[in-house]
Chain A
């Protein structure tokens, strides 16, 4: 029974899971690896929160075909990215070059982390200060209180 169940489960197991099913022939494994990394790196202009690797939009299909052609033609990564940026703008890269437009994108996260860190330090300092030993005046007042109680 267990064996039958296992067989059924195995038969249901999706052997091939991929966002986009396409076959490209690559002349070397290195090109194929670069194809995968670049197609993750490039953003689909039509469906903005997907890479061209994930997207089924016609423009992504075209860009993947173009990427394949360029890789096979021997372009290096920088040439390919420049080619895309020249046409679709920095938008097309998930890691755009730093310029006036993209500076907030790059600077905001470290700035926020720094701000949070400073806030945390300030908060901890204040807490530490509050629980520190008494000042001389307070010590004197405490002594007087204790003395009064003891009388």
Chain B
């Protein structure tokens, strides 16, 4: 018994090391959306191109991505080519142009290409607020029934799509 007690500090150290080691691979900026499993909040905002109103109903019918972007967002430019690839592959992506100037945004899409099925112009960030957006880029996976399935914060690239978003997206189209 006495002998075993000598190993207590070692046991404590191993436990602490395990906890800290786990901490190394955790991403503290990875906040789950408060909306997971809930319906996309109701909204009515103009289409960036036509000015026609878009509502949460327009997102339904198929699994889709909602990509939050803005011309002032550097990382959005980084992920843009990959979004074009995804759109080419037939993934519906709705753009949420977040707190941006519409003229600049239209110019961006004309210059770099437009991967979006439709682009929602959220000039005041009202929908952004309801979604809990805290910075661009963010990408939401929305199921066919209009529920939020996943939120990814940061750039979407091939690895993120393949490992994280695509499985959720595939599962979402079944609902």
Asked if residues B34 and A87 are in contact (CB atoms below 8 Å), the reply is yes
Asked if residues B31 and A91 are in contact (CB atoms below 8 Å), the reply is yes
Asked if residues A45 and B34 are in contact (CB atoms below 8 Å), the reply is no
Within the complex, the shortest CB–CB distance from B36 to chain A, in Å, comes to: 9
A86 contacts the other chain (CB 8 A): yes
Chain B residues within 8 Å of A103, by CB: none
Asked if residues B134 and A59 are in contact (CB atoms below 8 Å), the reply is yes
Within the complex, the shortest CB–CB distance from A118 to chain B, in Å, comes to: 14
Residue from A48, A58, A66 in contact with B29 in the complex, judged by beta carbons closer than 8 Å: A48
CA separation between A112 and B116, bound complex, in Å? Answer: 52
Asked if residues A87 and B135 are in contact (CB atoms below 8 Å), the reply is no
Chain B residues within 8 Å of A46, by CB: 134-135
Instruction: Using A45-B134, A58-B135 as known contacts, say yes or no to A85 and B129 having CB atoms under 8 A apart.
Output: no
Residue count of chain A within 8 Å CB distance of chain B: 14
Using an 8 Å CB-CB cutoff, how does the interface string of A40-64 with B read, 1 for contact, 0 for none?
0000011010000000011100100
Chain B contact surface mostly: loop
Asked if residues B32 and A89 are in contact (CB atoms below 8 Å), the reply is yes
Task: Name the residue among B33, B130, B132, B134 with the largest chain A CB count within 10 angstroms.
Answer: B134
Chain B residues within 8 Å of A48, by CB: 28-29
A88 contacts the other chain (CB 8 A): yes
Asked if residues A88 and B132 are in contact (CB atoms below 8 Å), the reply is yes
**Residues of B121-175 whose CB lies within 8 A of A:** 125, 129-132, 134-135
Using an 8 Å CB-CB cutoff, how does the interface string of B95-112 with A read, 1 for contact, 0 for none?
000010000000000000
Using an 8 Å CB-CB cutoff, how does the interface string of B19-41 with A read, 1 for contact, 0 for none?
00000000011011111000000
Residue from A57, A62, A66, A86 in contact with B34 in the complex, judged by beta carbons closer than 8 Å: A86
Chain A residues within 8 Å of B130, by CB: 87
Chain A residues within 8 Å of B134, by CB: 45-46, 59, 88
Asked if residues B29 and A85 are in contact (CB atoms below 8 Å), the reply is no
CA separation between A62 and B133, bound complex, in Å? Answer: 11
Chain B residues within 8 Å of A58, by CB: 99, 135
Instruction: Using A58-B135, A62-B129 as known contacts, say yes or no to A85 and B28 having CB atoms under 8 A apart.
Output: no
CA separation between A48 and B32, bound complex, in Å? Answer: 14
Within the complex, the shortest CB–CB distance from B19 to chain A, in Å, comes to: 11
CA separation between A87 and B34, bound complex, in Å? Answer: 6
Closest 10 CB pairs of A and B: A89-B34, A45-B134, A87-B132, A59-B134, A88-B132, A46-B134, A46-B135, A91-B31, A87-B34, A88-B34
